[in-house]
Amino acid sequence: MRITRSRTARDKIPVSVPVPENAGEPAEDMPFFNYGAFSFDYAINFSRLSISIEQKLDMYHYHRELGKWKRDTNVSVKEGRMLLHPVEPLYLPEAVTDYLEIRFDEVMIEPRGTSILFLTFPIEIGVFIQASGVTSILDVVSFKTPKYSLYGNANRGVITRWHKSGVFSYPPRVRNYLEGVLRLQIENTTDDWINVSRAVIHEKGMQVYFDEHFVSMAAEMVITPGGTAAVTGVARPLHEGMTRSLRMYEPRRSASFSNAAGSLIDSTFIMDAGLT
């Protein structure tokens, strides 16, 4: 299977209005969002999000609403299916960054020690169309308003999609349409106690998984002398039986949104502007 996307698709994905984050915690029996593959006659009505694909004459019509924001697209296809997958949270409202920065409550890592933390990360939902063995992105929506920051400074830094998380010793209960669970393994290779309160992950290393209750990713951070750390996303689901999401990542034809040359080695980002 291959995923195709027009050269400017990432820049043209429309903005969706999220449910306010201060709307209150959900009831314990709040339903989970259903990810997976669906026939064209499957309609989604979840919270303020509605999605439908209806046949009109010899063409299909895609309609999406989230709050006051709408999108309508005609799709010329004989038969196929729609896929709803959680994707790397870097596509709304447009192409701003390749980096996700998670700020969390400070953790002290002992010398030569290793710690495994569970954090949360924001979710964006990709709507894909699959036909004739080819899958293409149609739309991206999100229930969360994106926030951005600068890791480093104006002379040497990267723009990041910013997210605040608590720190958990086990996977926390989350609303699977708002947040996913990140398993972060931190290894301190130094002879000193090190304080850590953020992790920056490049999109190339993001591998998203889902099941009926959770969306997840995993990453590893290796702290080295001098107050730097190498952060790499890894292909590891939260638990067995999870499905790997379709990826949106596509190598850029132009330079990344970064002026920290040399800080990215393949999918590993070198955090040299501070760990707290």
pLDDT, tens only, 189-220: 999 999 999 999 999 999 999 999 999 999 99
Q: Grade residue 254 by pLDDT with cuts at 50, 70 and 90.
A: very low
Does 88 score more than 70 pLDDT?
yes
- Short-list 250, 252, 184, CA closest to 222: 184
Q: What is the pLDDT of residue 260?
A: 59
Average pLDDT over residues 177-199: 97
pLDDT of residue 16: 37
- pLDDT beyond 50 at 19: no
Residue 265, pLDDT score = 82
Structure confidence at residue 262 (pLDDT): 55
What pLDDT, in 10s, does the model give residues 96-118? 899 999 999 999 999 999 999 99
pLDDT at 74: 94
User: Considering the chain, what is the average pLDDT of its residues?
Assistant: 85
Cβ burial, residue 251 (10 Å; 0-12/13-18/19+)? exposed
The answer, yes or no, to whether residue 252 has pLDDT greater than 80, is no
Distance CA 128, CA 60 (A): 14
Measured between alpha carbons, how far is 27 from 21 in angstroms, rounded to an integer? 15
